[in-house]
């Protein structure tokens, strides 16, 4: 009975989003209200407990939103200058082979865009480009949707991964490598899938070798970058390496010559320089200790006392999420946005009033997702403090037993499907998965890697993302068809992650 009551807020979100097609902001708010009600009436949460849970939720919300806001600011700074379309337009110069174009634009470039932008940007930007290159509208949506899926967790400059760390309180050194490994394995399958979408099995056989080479380079790059502690540029660098590796491969698969106009190398260089600056600043902050320490001096840190419910569930005393304001990934992105703006302005790429348009479109775009994240983080925090997450974890541990590792990625995917975001899924289920893994004695790092990998892959079939993709490809009203196509590829990728998870927990047992 208590398990079912603890499940109510999650069920509310699921039903409202999937059955009634509510957005994440509305459903998240309904989830919060139901969590608050259940926590007070059935789990004995008092006023003080709710207050501290809410303040902790504020810290987590700020931690995640700083990245989301500034990542979109950087994307809009580049987009307003025409840098994104310049990079996209340069790619067809490499090859006229449709399958190879799909690999370069729909996979490597989509991963790169996910690295810097996210929030549905890869599909929204790439689908119209692919239609212009002669792809069917269905392929134009499915290719970038599948193509960027493996890059979601370390994309958007690491916002989903940041959310996982915030929700579990575990460090990047523990969570990063297994998550990068799982997503890297998915990447190896994504390339052949993209080739399959463009021309079925014949296309897959013809492009298998370049797909494996590009996939291996991107997967290894992401793993090494994440392992080096630069998780916020994991997908970005992997996408960049994928693009660089594609160039010599594309020359072998040129296809029939087509007139793609003149390639403006100077414009391309300027377009890329905005993002090169971001890599430079990130490396400076991560690798130069005096600079890193200087920026890390100002930290927002709040201490919380022990609180307990009237039923006796205790949350121990301790600090909330610490936010190093000037060294935060969000701050680094803001510095990068300012630097990119100055570069593009000096190159004369902006029309008058560009700064105002960048800021206003950024604020308008992020507001509804900010509401969704604020309410879902608060809901997760209340559930944790009231012992609801613990009740769910115990129920799952007893119900699933040794099969739990197989299910873990599907829970992550379910969270992303119903909330439309890997970030929200990690906030919603990160604590639950961690607690279940602890109860069953499985490696927490492996289970959380399965959570975030499942969330990344599952996010592409979320109704909110499918609607964005379908609308940009002129397929309004055919979202169900798009989802059916995506379900096959996403399901296969989730099976791969399930197998890796069960292998991982067998190899590692309860360590980490």
Partner 1 sequence: MINNLIKWLRSNKFEAYTIAFLLMILPCVPLYSAANAGQTLLIGLLISLIVLGNLVAILIR
Cβ proximity to partner 1, 119 vs 150, nearer residue: 119
Out of 18, 33, 170, 400, the only residue in the binding site for partner 1 (CB under 8 A) is: 33
Interactions with partner 1, residue window 188-207 (CB under 8 A): none
Cβ proximity to partner 1, 48 vs 293, nearer residue: 48
Cβ proximity to partner 1, 377 vs 445, nearer residue: 377
Number of chain positions touching partner 1 (CB under 8 A): 27
Out of 36, 102, 180, 323, the only residue in the binding site for partner 1 (CB under 8 A) is: 36
Cβ proximity to partner 1, 17 vs 343, nearer residue: 17
Q: What is the DSSP letter of 120?
A: T
Instruction: Choose the binding region for partner 1 from 1-9, 20-28, 113-121, 218-226 (rule: CB under 8 A).
Output: 20-28
User: Coil, helix or strand for 272?
Assistant: helix
Interactions with partner 1, residue window 38-77 (CB under 8 A): 47-48, 50-52, 54-55, 57-58, 61
Interactions with partner 1, residue window 207-236 (CB under 8 A): none
User: Coil, helix or strand for 67?
Assistant: helix
Q: Which helix (H) or strand (E) holds 320?
A: none
DSSP per-residue codes, 373-404? HHHHHHHHHHHHHTTHHHHHHHHHHHHHGGGH
Minimal distance in Å, beta carbon 412 to partner 1?
A: 25
Minimal distance in Å, beta carbon 63 to partner 1?
A: 13
Minimal distance in Å, beta carbon 9 to partner 1?
A: 12
Q: How many CB atoms lie within 10 A of CB 352?
A: 7
* HEC string for 310-325: CCCCEECCEECCCEEC
Out of 10, 13, 17, 28, the only residue in the binding site for partner 1 (CB under 8 A) is: 28
Cβ proximity to partner 1, 154 vs 313, nearer residue: 313
25 binds partner 1 (CB under 8 A): yes
Instruction: Choose the binding region for partner 1 from 26-34, 158-166, 413-421, 423-431 (rule: CB under 8 A).
Output: 26-34
**Residue 60 in contact with residue 77, Cβ under 8 Å?**
no
Instruction: Choose the binding region for partner 1 from 23-31, 223-231, 291-299, 490-498 (rule: CB under 8 A).
Output: 23-31
Q: Distances from the Cα of 4 to the Cαs of 38, 41, 169, 422, 430, in angstroms?
A: 11, 14, 26, 24, 19
Query: How far is the first Cα of the chain from the last one, in angstroms, to the nearest whole number?
Result: 32
Q: Which helix (H) or strand (E) holds 316?
A: none
Minimal distance in Å, beta carbon 303 to partner 1?
A: 10
Minimal distance in Å, beta carbon 300 to partner 1?
A: 12
Minimal distance in Å, beta carbon 345 to partner 1?
A: 27
Interactions with partner 1, residue window 344-383 (CB under 8 A): 364, 367-368, 370-371, 374-375, 378
CA dist., res. 354 & res. 433, Å (int): 44
Minimal distance in Å, beta carbon 58 to partner 1?
A: 4
Strands 318-319 and 303-304: antiparallel
| Both structure tokens of 424 | 């929200």
CA dist., res. 377 & res. 13, Å (int): 13
SS3 content of the chain, % helix, strand, coil (to 5): 80, 0, 20
Minimal distance in Å, beta carbon 21 to partner 1?
A: 11
Minimal distance in Å, beta carbon 249 to partner 1?
A: 45
- Scored b (16 or more CB within 10 A) or e, 119-128 reads bbbbbbbbbb
Non-local CB neighbours of 48 within 8 Å, separated by 6+ positions: 307
User: Coil, helix or strand for 308?
Assistant: strand
Interface map 244-283 toward partner 1 (x if CB under 8 A): ----------------------------------------
Minimal distance in Å, beta carbon 368 to partner 1?
A: 5
Helix spans in 133-171 (H) = 137-149, 159-168
Non-local CB neighbours of 338 within 8 Å, separated by 6+ positions: none
Residue ranges in contact with partner 1 by CB under 8 A: 25-26, 28-30, 32-33, 36, 47-48, 50-52, 54-55, 57-58, 61, 302, 364, 367-368, 370-371, 374-375, 378
């Amino acid at each position: 009975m208590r398990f079912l009551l603890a499940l109510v807020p999650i069920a509310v979100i699921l039903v409202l989003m999937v059955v009634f097609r509510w957005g994440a902001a509305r459903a998240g708010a309904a989830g919060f209200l139901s969590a608050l009600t259940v926590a007070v009436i059935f789990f004995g949460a008092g006023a003080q407990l709710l207050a501290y849970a809410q303040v902790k939720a504020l810290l987590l919300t700020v931690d995640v939103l700083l990245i989301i806001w500034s990542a979109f600011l950087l994307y809009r700074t580049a987009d307003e200058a025409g840098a994104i379309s310049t990079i996209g337009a340069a790619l067809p110069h490499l090859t006229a082979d449709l399958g190879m174009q799909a690999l370069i634009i729909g996979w490597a470039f989509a991963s790169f865009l996910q690295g810097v932008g996210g929030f549905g940007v890869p599909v929204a930007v790439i689908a119209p480009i692919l239609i212009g290159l002669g792809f069917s509208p269905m392929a134009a949506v499915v290719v970038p949707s599948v193509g960027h899926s493996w890059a979601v967790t370390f994309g958007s400059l690491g916002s989903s991964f940041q959310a996982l760390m915030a929700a579990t309180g575990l460090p990047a050194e523990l969570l990063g490598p297994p998550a990068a490994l799982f997503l890297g394995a998915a990447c190896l399958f994504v390339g052949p899938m993209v080739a399959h979408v463009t021309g079925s099995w014949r296309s897959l056989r013809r492009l298998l070798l370049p797909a494996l080479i590009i996939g291996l380079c991107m997967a290894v790059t992401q793993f090494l970058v994440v392992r080096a502690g630069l998780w916020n540029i994991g997908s970005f660098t992997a996408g960049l390496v994928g693009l660089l590796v594609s160039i010599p491969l594309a020359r072998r698969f040129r296809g029939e010559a087509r007139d793609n106009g003149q390639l403006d190398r100077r414009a391309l260089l300027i377009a890329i320089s905005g993002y090169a600056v971001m890599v430079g600043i990130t490396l400076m902050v991560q690798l130069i200790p005096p600079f890193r320490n200087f920026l890390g001096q100002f930290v927002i840190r709040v201490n919380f006392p022990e609180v307990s419910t009237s039923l006796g569930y205790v949350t121990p005393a301790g600090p909330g999420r610490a936010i190093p304001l000037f060294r935060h990934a969000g701050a680094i992105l803001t510095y990068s946005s300012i630097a990119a703006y100055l570069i593009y302005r000096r190159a004369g790429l902006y029309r008058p009033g560009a700064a105002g348009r960048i800021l206003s479109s950024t604020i308008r775009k992020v507001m509804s997702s900010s509401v969704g994240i604020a309410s879902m983080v608060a809901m997760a925090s209340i559930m944790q403090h009231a012992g609801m997450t613990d009740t769910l974890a115990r129920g799952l541990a007893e119900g699933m037993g040794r099969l739990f590792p197989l299910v873990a990625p599907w829970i992550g995917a379910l969270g992303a499907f119903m909330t439309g975001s890997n970030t929200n899924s990690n906030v919603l289920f990160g604590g639950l998965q961690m607690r279940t893994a602890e109860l069953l004695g499985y490696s927490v790092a492996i289970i959380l890697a399965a959570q975030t990998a499942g969330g990344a892959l599952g996010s592409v079939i979320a109704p909110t993302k499918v609607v964005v993709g379908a609308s940009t490809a002129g397929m309004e009203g055919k979202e169900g068809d798009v989802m059916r196509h995506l379900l096959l590829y996403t399901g296969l990728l989730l099976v791969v992650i399930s197998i890796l998870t069960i292998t991982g927990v067998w190899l590692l047992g309860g360590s980490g």
